[in-house]
Amino acid sequence: FPGPPLTTFALLVDTSQPQIVYAGTTTGVYLSKDGGHSWQPIGRDSLSSTVASLVSSPVEPDVLYVGAEHGGLFRSTDGGQHWQPWGLEGTSVYAILTDHTGTIWLGTDQGIFRSP
């Protein structure tokens, strides 16, 4: 990573383009387009929280979800360039699972949640 070492809590490899890797860190999301050789912060204007979990949607290619510590769930529709709060504000989202139907499961400090 550029700069000082960062604690990384989540990694995501794009299954259709394995050279694209996302990392969830204590200062937000980083993106590598060269298999992890170089990294750039992305979406810093809309997400700078500690990222505890990070997944992609199996049904929408550019949709990513981030679980933030004490920040709830965030959603990006442009590969992580911009993030929007997507619920559970103030909750720590430590685990995210998306299934083949698009249902989202969340493991949080307040219990387990499922999208409708």
Nearest to 28 by CA among 41, 37, 40, 15: 41
Which domains does the chain show, CATH number per domain?
8-114 (2.130.10.10)
Is residue 114 within 8 A of residue 105, CB to CB? The reply is yes
Nearest to 29 by CA among 13, 47, 2: 47
Q: What is the per-residue pLDDT for 109? A: 97
Is residue 39 within 8 A of residue 1, CB to CB? The reply is yes
**Percent of the chain, pLDDT > 90?**
80
Band of residue 8 on the pLDDT scale cut at 50, 70, 90: very high
Q: What is the mean pLDDT of residues 64-80?
A: 95
Give the model confidence (pLDDT) of 19-63 as tens digits: 999 999 999 999 999 999 999 999 988 887 899 999 999 888 799
pTM: 0.91
Cα torsion at 46, 68, 85, 81 (round to 10°)?
40
Please determine, for residue 2, whether its predicted confidence score (pLDDT) is greater than 80. Answer: no
Q: What is the per-residue pLDDT for 1? A: 66
Q: What is the per-residue pLDDT for 7? A: 92
Structure tokens at 48: 């700078």
